[in-house]
Amino acid sequence: MLMAMSSARPEMPPPPRRSFASDNAAGAHPRVLEALAAANTGHALAYGDDDWTRRCAAGFGELFDADVTVRLVFNGTGANVVALAAALGALPGPHHAVICTSQAHIAVDETGAPERVLGTKLLGLEAPDGKLTPAHLDAVRHLRGDQHHVQPGVVSITQATELGTLYAIEEIGALCDAAHADGMYVHLDGARIANATAALGADRAALRAFTVDAGVDVVSFGGTKNGLLGGEAVVFLEPSLAVGSAYLRKQVTQLPSKMRYLAAQFEAVLADDLWIETARHANAMAAELHDRLRHLDGLDPGPPPQVNSLFPTLPADVLDRLRHWSFFWEWDPARHQARWMTAWDTTLEDIERFVAGVTHALQR
């Protein structure tokens, strides 16, 4: 007697152990945890008067090969607020605005912190690829000298951008030249500066090329998305902007008391350029994921990733099924576009499991 065939649909395969929602979901690198444990010995004076913070500052000086001032802070929003506060404060009068893209993190994902805390206005300009150009500065030049308008004072760019794109070294140089010619300062939001560095040369020379050599004045140097337990750094490349920055950091509630714990983390990743190695791995995993997905019917993986993010589009029902299976963010609901990100600890096994799940969902 023949057995009746089951009509039950096969279940989704096991989800990956690590999330593809964001590199922010990753844990801390073992060397960072070891550095924290080593720093957690005995007593050290508070507020940065400790050997860890001094070594960390020296490490950033060597990294940029320049006389820089470093202010460690708790998080990326705090880093951006401190950096922008210093740049705006160096301009004559409180009537200056910050130019950024309409997709910029400071404009979209910081709950209005720069505007509320600093009392400034953000001029968000449309940029389909997430990048500002000198032409954008030309577009706001008509505001200059008109007492009815805020005056453009600071240009804020993100490298790598919120759309996963990269500024070429020459593009940042041209933008800095145009901004400085108009008397403006340039801030670089480097929440994923490690991924950009890994993509543009994977060495310290690449970092210097698109920051200090290109003319950037102040950098928000990200760490949390690249293996730190928590901590960011504001690096002043233009010495005049650093004047008074210690007081600004305290005013905007970003002065860590036990600063040695933040400094120890950066000291660990700057040593032997671990910060580049981890970012290079994350970028490589994104490229691997894209390569394994691009042949699947019913899915558009988007352009090859420049750093560690993919922006695929899928049928709405497939997108919903996958998000319940292994959560990720829906980037553009109108287009059924997702964002998938790899991290410093993403493995090939994670990619294989994720691709298996995507394949299964598409076949259903």
Tens of pLDDT along 42-51? 999 999 999 9
CA distance 87 to 247: 14
DSSP state at residue 66:
S
State residue 3's pLDDT score.
47
Instruction: Please provide the average confidence, as pLDDT, over all residues in the chain.
Output: 96
Average pLDDT in the 273-282 region? Answer: 98
For 310, the domain range is: 23-27+275-363
- Residue by residue, DSSP assigns 74-105 as SSHHHHHHHHHHHHHHTSSSS-EEEEEETT-H
State residue 83's pLDDT score.
98
Picking from 220, 246, 273, the residue at the C-terminal end of a domain is 273
State residue 11's pLDDT score.
85
Average pLDDT in the 208-216 region? Answer: 98
CB-based contact 207:172 (threshold 8 Å): no
Picking from 273, 302, 337, the residue at the C-terminal end of a domain is 273
Q: Do 231 and 84 belong to one domain?
A: yes
For residue 5, pLDDT over 90 is answered with no
Question: Helix, strand or coil for residue 312?
Answer: coil
Q: How far is CA 212 from CA 13, 134, 172, 204, 297, in A?
A: 48, 19, 11, 11, 45
CA distance 354 to 293: 10
Q: Do 202 and 287 belong to one domain?
A: no
**Region for residue 157 given its phi and psi (left: phi exceeds 0; alpha: psi -120 to 50; beta: otherwise):** beta
The helix (run of H) or strand (run of E) holding residue 157 is strand 151-158
CATH of the domain at 213: 3.40.640.10
CA distance 132 to 99: 9
